Amino acid sequence: MRFTFTPAQDAFRAEVRGFLRSEMEAGTFSPRCGDLFQTGSREFSRKMAERGWIGMTWPREHGGQGRPYVDKAILMEELFRVQAPIGYHFLADRQVGPALIHFGSKQQKEFFLPRIVRADEGVSFCLLFSEPNAGSDLAGVATTALRDGDEYIVNGQKVWTSRAHVADFGWLLARTDPDPSANRYRSVSEFIVDMKSPGITVRPIVNMAGESNFNEVFFEDVRVPAASLVGEENAGFKQIMAQMDYERAGLERLMQNYPLFEQLKQHVRDMDPSETPETLRAWARDQVAQLEIEYSVGRLLCYYTAWTIDQGKTPTAQAAMCKAFCTRYEQKVNDVASQILGPVCQIRRGDPWSPLRGDLAESLLWGPSYTLQGGSVEVLKNIVALRGLGLPRK
């Protein structure tokens, strides 16, 4: 038992922090709440790649560093703390790589893994999962990929696809057994699709924050080589569920509005007793302490999940618990911060009167999405009950 980091881990954290500090001083980015996964540049990713910070947990034979998930968690915590612009490689690093390592063909591994790890040009990914009628219910996708000789022909529509307009490849989930009587959990497959393929149309969706951070993607007779199938045909649902465990456990579910929380604490520290009603100060003190408690709990839960993976276990229920817990905390931060700041919480970034560097208003805009991404809280709790506690389904 050791509830703290090793000196090597402390040194690693310091190294990451130093790198980020110098990037911020050079004006590469500044810590601001908003869309954590959208912002990014290949340039920034390349610098991280140089330091071995992409594919860190992957085995060495796949170009990774073979380092534990706890080390990766330290890296991610530091990145999220300042909301570093990691969008170019984030999804490939978190999801695509591990999935390929588990399920990919030799050629897929050899082509993609080294390129992702180096943050080469042309290997940015988007995830083509959700559909208008299949959000959390991935077994219900209607987009079809039908075998035609050496190719699959894809038709259908995806939605809520972050970065589809800039990504080079899409990680596609599609129905390969279109028979309506087929077992829905054994009739979908995963593919890697070149986003420049003829027949793909990307249309941005403007979100409530007024940004087009995600897209609709239309497929019209898009031809995909059979070699782009990942893993087994019709085994896509099983494969993707395994991937989700890793998606859900990350600190990104705790720290989407981390800079806001830091500023809120500072704001409460700085509140002038002569200008602040005593009632507000007492309330703010109690509430911010509760947030700090929940943050500490969530952080420990994230590291615990990383450690569990390092023990060679699949953290299904734990990861679901982690995400359900952490995203609720994030929404509470928004609520408490707005009540402490009052009406000015509405003033958006850019205006001189926007409080907490504009992070409050932006976080309020993004708040509703926290508990939706990667499985709604409801679905996550079902997973905890069914997989973790063994409760009956029927």
Q: Which stretch binds a second copy (CB under 8 A): 30-38, 85-93, 280-288, 358-366?
A: 280-288
> Of the two residues 50 and 378, which places its CB atom closer to another protein in the complex?
378
Q: How big is the chain, counted in residues?
A: 394
Question: How far is Cα 322 from Cα 359, in angstroms, rounded to an integer?
Answer: 24
Closer to a second copy at the Cβ: 6 or 290? 290
Given 286, 292, 335, 351, the residue binding a second copy (CB under 8 A): 286
Q: How far apart are CA 363 and CA 264, in angstroms?
A: 12
Least Å from the CB of residue 138 to another protein: 10
Residue at token pair 């110098």: 22
Residue 273 interacts with a second copy (CB under 8 A)? no
Give min distance, CB of 277 to a second copy, in A: 11
Copy the structure tokens of residue 387. 């997989």
Torsion of CA 35, 36, 38, 42, to 10 degrees: 150
CB nearer to a second copy: give 139 or 280.
Answer: 280
Closest CA to 320 of 390, 240, 387, 236: 387
Q: CA torsion angle for 223, 229, 234, 236 (degrees, to 10)?
A: -110
With beta carbons less than 8 A apart as the criterion, state whether 128 and 230 touch. no
Smallest gap from residue 340 Cβ to a second copy (A)? 14
User: According to the binding rule CB under 8 A, does residue 181 interact with a second copy?
Assistant: no
Torsion of CA 284, 290, 295, 300, to 10 degrees: 160
The rounded distance, in Å, linking the Cα atoms of 22 and 243 is: 34
Residue 293 lies near a second copy (rule: CB under 8 A):
no
What gap in Å lies between CA 22 and CA 246, rounded to an integer?
A: 30
CB of 5 or CB of 283, closer to a second copy? 283
At 372, give phi and psi (nearest 5°).
-105, -40
Residues between 311 and 340 that touch a second copy (CB under 8 A): none
Q: Of 62, 153, 159, 149, nearest to 109 (Cα)?
A: 62
Residue with smaller CB distance to a second copy, 26 or 389: 389
* Helical pair 316-341 and 258-270, crossing angle rounded to 10 deg: 40
Give the tokens for residue 363: 């976080």
Among 181, 274, 279, 311, binds a second copy (CB under 8 A): 279
Interaction partner, residue 273 (another protein, a second copy, none; CB < 5-8 Å by kind): none
- Residue 142's binding partner, choosing from another protein, a second copy, none, with beta-carbon cut-off 5 to 8 A by kind? none
Shortest Å distance, C-beta 44 to another protein: 27
Range in contact with a second copy (rule: CB under 8 A) among 97-105, 180-188, 228-236, 282-290: 282-290
C-beta closer to a second copy: residue 19 or 283: 283
Nearest residue (CB) to another protein, 234 versus 308: 308
From residue 29 to residue 68, the character string flagging contacts with a second copy as x (rule: CB under 8 A) and all else as - is ----------------------------------------
283 is a contact residue toward a second copy (CB under 8 A): yes
| Beta carbon nearer to a second copy, 181 or 279 | 279
Paired sense of beta strands 151-162 and 188-194, if any? unpaired
User: What whole-number distance in Å separates Cα of residue 145 and Cα of residue 150?
Assistant: 12
Residue 284: CB minimum distance to a second copy, A: 11
Residue 181 or residue 279: which is nearer to another protein going by CB? Answer: 279
How many residues of this chain interact with a second copy, rule: CB under 8 A?
A: 6
Nearest distance in Å: CB 283, a second copy: 6
The site partner of 293 among a second copy, another protein, none (C-beta below 5 to 8 Å per kind) is another protein
Strand partners for 153? 146, 223
Amino acid identity of 313? K
For another protein, which is the closer residue by CB, 126 or 380? 380
Binding residue (CB under 8 A) for a second copy from 206, 208, 227, 282: 282
Q: Which of 132, 145, 135 is nearest to 234 (CA)?
A: 145
Q: Which residue has the tokens 């809120």?
A: 264
Query: Of 2, 198, 278, 352, which one interacts with a second copy (CB under 8 A)?
Result: 278
Residue 105 carries which DSSP code?
-
Binding interface with a second copy (CB under 8 A)? 278-279, 282-283, 285-286
